[in-house]
Amino acid sequence: MTQSQSPAMAALTPQMQDCIEACMSCHSMCEETMSGCMQKGGPQQMQVMRALMDCSETTRMCADMMMRRSPMSAEMCMFCAKVCDMCAEACMSMPDDQQMMRCAEASRRCAETCRTMAGATM
């Protein structure tokens, strides 16, 4: 096997690409939602902000680790799924806020793809 054919340099699978896209989409949605959350203020907003910040950072890191084929990717994906679930729950605490509902949806999708990837061999 030549250097260019090593498993570390293998093309990303469609499943990995889907997960990376879901992570980046969730990251962007969390960042966008945080902006609106900061303008509203209040104790409930602060609790949601923490979840949004954790989710934003975790999804970005998870995508980065998959792209560089880190040997810790599966563990990171499982952790990311947990953080995304927590974020979705926090966003659902404000059902009248459409931005929060979009963020919850993006977080749930990311959690699903990450759980799938955590069970896959990377």
The pLDDT tens digits of the residues spanning 84-94 come to 999 999 999 99
pLDDT value of position 9: 54
Task: Output the six-digit token pair for 13.
Answer: 């699978």
pLDDT at 19 over 60: yes
Residue for token pair 């966003």: 91
Q: Assign 12 a pLDDT band (cuts: 50, 70, 90).
A: confident
- Strand ranges (E), the chain: none
Contacts of 58 (CB under 8 A, 6+ apart): 79, 80, 83, 84
Model pTM score: 0.86
Query: b/e per residue, 48-71, with b = 16+ CB within 10 A?
Result: bbebbebbbebbbbbbebbeeebe
Task: Output the six-digit token pair for 49.
Answer: 């902000």
- Determine the residue type at 56: S
Each residue's pLDDT tens digit, 43-77: 677 889 999 999 999 999 999 999 999 999 999 99
